[in-house]
């Protein structure tokens, strides 16, 4: 059994099949983000898969605290919150003791997820999520489109100037950057399980 299958099957004890599927989808969407986040915390490359697995394991174990109401959507929302808390805990822990990479220690430390994380940590988590989503989405677009998005939204330059520089029409810049923004939002929602997606999204 591959590690991925192991992680996914951790949850087979869930009562509802719907929740089990929700967990599998969640792992698929979340693992990539976790890998990057762990890496960005300065964990050496060779430890990244282990740490990611530890975090997923912690999340999986926390599921014991879930009261099944048979509703996959509320399970998924709950899962996103637990994961966010576990990850925030991991991030603050890594800051305090850089270098100390634990196996079962880490699980024990991450286990207690009841506490409410503070404002600053939540912001940082969201930062990580948006950066990750933007990086994922970037490769779906032409380089020119990304440049247009970057120059006008991030660098806040005028659309007309950038259009001239990139030799495209201003209208196409409005189109490109809106598409990119919509994709970033959607990517974040896949992980956050945002329950209020844009009603116009199919």
Verify binding: residue 80, other proteins, rule CB under 8 A: no
| Of 107 and 159, CB closest to other proteins | 159
C-alpha to C-alpha distance for 37 and 54, rounded to whole angstroms: 13
Contact of 20 with 11, CB cutoff 8 Å: yes
Cβ atoms within 10 Å, residue 164: 11
Span of 11-19, 43-51, 63-71, 72-80 interacting with other proteins by CB under 8 A: 43-51
Q: Which of residues 116-175 bind other proteins (CB under 8 A)?
A: 124, 126-127, 130-131, 134-135, 138-147, 150-151, 153-154, 156, 165-172, 174-175
Task: Considering only residues 4 through 33, tell me which ones interact with other proteins, judged by CB under 8 A.
Answer: 4
Is residue 2 at the binding interface for other proteins, with CB under 8 A as the rule?
A: yes
The 170-189 contact track toward other proteins, x by CB under 8 A, reads: xxx-xxxxxx-xxxxx----
Q: Which of 92, 102, 82 has the alpha carbon at shortest distance from 41?
A: 92
Tokens found for residue 30: 């979340």
Q: Compute φ and ψ for 113, nearest 5 degrees.
A: -115, 20
- How far lies 200's CA from each of 15, 37, 130, 140, 196, in Å? 34, 31, 21, 21, 11
Provide the binding-site residues for other proteins, judged by CB under 8 A: 2-4, 35, 39-42, 45-46, 48-49, 52, 124, 126-127, 130-131, 134-135, 138-147, 150-151, 153-154, 156, 165-172, 174-179, 181-185, 198, 200, 202
């Amino acid at each position: 059994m591959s590690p991925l299958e192991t992680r996914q099957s951790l949850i087979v004890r869930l009562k509802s099949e719907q929740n089990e599927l929700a967990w599998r989808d969640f792992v698929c969407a979340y693992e990539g983000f976790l890998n990057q986040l762990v890496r960005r915390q300065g964990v050496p490359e060779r430890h990244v898969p282990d740490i990611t697995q530890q975090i997923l394991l912690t999340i999986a174990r926390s599921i014991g605290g879930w009261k099944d109401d048979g509703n996959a959507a509320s399970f998924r929302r709950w899962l996103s919150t637990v994961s966010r808390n576990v990850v925030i805990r991991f991030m603050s822990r890594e800051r305090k003791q850089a270098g100390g990479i634990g196996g079962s220690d880490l699980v024990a430390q991450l286990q207690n997820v009841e506490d409410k994380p503070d404002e600053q940590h939540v912001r940082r988590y969201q930062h990580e999520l948006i950066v990750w989503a933007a990086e994922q989405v970037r490769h779906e677009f032409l380089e020119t489109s990304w440049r247009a998005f970057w120059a006008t939204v991030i660098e806040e330059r005028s659309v007309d100037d950038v259009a001239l520089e990139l030799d495209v029409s201003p209208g196409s810049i409005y189109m490109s950057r809106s598409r990119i923004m919509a994709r970033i939002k959607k990517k974040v929602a896949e992980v956050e399980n945002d329950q209020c997606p844009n009603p116009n999204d199919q």
